[in-house]
């Protein structure tokens, strides 16, 4: 019997048309999009399916749209009889994971991620911050480079896999770090097309505002274990989950560590639930031995159901 983990993607996985195939083929998914539209007061379905991309890519729009597409994929998996033993999400994806673990309602996750997007955007004015992906350098080398920068603040933000670390910080400092990483032997060092520098101390103001917003949200004890980003630990109570969501914004995202914790708990199969395959690629680099599937439309659902049966 396979032990399955559901993992949920974060920002950057969005694309115009995500969720549309599942919507067209599943009545339960139609209900999810109706509820999303009613909760947020605009046509999230139309934005997700038809764009424009410029609007979809605004952080406060992106976040609830990805959560909705992810919960749609989750619903069709559950309806197909596939249930997880454990769950996790990459950054924003942690909110979808909390819905899957029955910690947070879908509608609360929508409202909260819309606010989270606004808080993040307002914490750092456009152009002030930047993120970059560094491939092929160790944590220690990249940490040392960030510590020694002359032009400002940068820090490791996402420990995504043994080969990929993302840094975040002030624009000039990130550009300096990119050049230093290249000189140190990085295979690639490239700026990312994101509007805010997440998971670093530039997000402290956003974290504080998120903490206040969380006070109004009803959370309940997880029905299945959830492994968090901030500590790469299994969380089992509401207070630790609240604290984790707040710290997640301004501290490094421990994705590689989280996946290793899940594998050590006896999981041999991962399903990426939601748009894209970014997490699938990272998980295969962390441990090539595990089975990895994704569900974002009818075809990938069919492939996954065949693969795990």
Residue length, the chain? Answer: 309
Q: Across the strands, what pairs with 126?
A: none
91 annotated active-site: yes
Place of tokens 């993040």: 120
Structure tokens, 281:
């690629």
Closest CA to 7 of 84, 109, 105, 62: 84
Other C-beta atoms closer than 10 Å to the C-beta of 247 total 18
Residue 174 makes CB contacts below 8 A (sequence gap 6+) with 129, 130, 131, 132, 154, 167, 168, 191, 197
Phi and psi, residue 209, nearest 5°: -70, -40
| Type and span of the H or E element at 194 | none
Other C-beta atoms closer than 10 Å to the C-beta of 23 total 20
Residue 232 makes CB contacts below 8 A (sequence gap 6+) with 254, 257, 258, 260, 261
Helix (H) and strand (E) counts in the chain: 14, 10
Q: Which residues of 201-227 are buried (b: 16+ CB within 10 A; e: fewer)?
A: ebbeebbebbeebbeeeebeebebbbb
Catalytic residue among 90, 198, 199, 251: 199
90 annotated active-site: no
Structure tokens, 256:
């590689």
What's the helix, strand, coil split of the chain in %, to 5?
A: 50, 15, 35
Catalytic residue among 13, 91, 198, 251: 91
Residues 40 and 287: their CA atoms lie apart, in Å, by 39
- Catalytically annotated residues: 91, 199
């Amino acid at each position: 019997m396979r032990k399955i983990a559901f993992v949920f993607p974060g920002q950057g996985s969005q694309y115009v048309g995500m969720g549309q195939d599942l919507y067209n083929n599943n009545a339960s998914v139609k209900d999810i999009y109706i509820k999303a539209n009613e909760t947020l007061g605009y046509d999230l379905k139309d934005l997700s399916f038809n764009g424009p991309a410029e609007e979809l890519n605004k952080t406060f729009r992106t976040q609830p749209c990805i959560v909705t597409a992810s919960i749609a994929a989750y619903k069709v998996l559950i309806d197909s009889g596939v249930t997880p033993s454990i769950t996790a999400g990459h950054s924003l994806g942690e909110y979808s994971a909390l819905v899957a673990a029955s910690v947070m309602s879908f509608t609360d996750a929508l409202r909260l991620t819309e606010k989270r997007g606004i808080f993040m955007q307002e914490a750092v004015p456009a152009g002030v911050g930047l993120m970059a992906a560094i491939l092929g350098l160790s944590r220690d080398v990249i940490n040392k480079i960030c510590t020694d920068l002359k032009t400002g603040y940068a820090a490791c933000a996402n420990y995504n896999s043994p080969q990929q670390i993302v840094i975040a910080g002030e624009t000039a400092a990130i550009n300096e770090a990119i050049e230093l990483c290249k000189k140190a032997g990085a295979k690639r060092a490239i700026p990312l097309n994101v509007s805010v520098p997440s998971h670093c101390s530039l997000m402290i103001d956003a974290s504080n505002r998120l903490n206040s917003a969380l006070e109004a949200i009803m959370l309940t004890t997880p029905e299945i274990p959830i492994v968090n980003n901030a500590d790469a630990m299994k969380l089992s109570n509401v207070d630790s989950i609240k604290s984790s969501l707040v710290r997640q914004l301004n501290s490094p995202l421990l994705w590689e560590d989280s996946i290793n914790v899940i594998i050590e708990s006896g999981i041999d199969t991962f399903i990426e639930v939601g748009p894209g395959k970014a997490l699938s690629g990272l998980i295969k680099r962390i441990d090539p031995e595990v089975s990895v599937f994704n569900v974002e439309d009818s075809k990938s659902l069919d492939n996954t159901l065949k693969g795990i049966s």
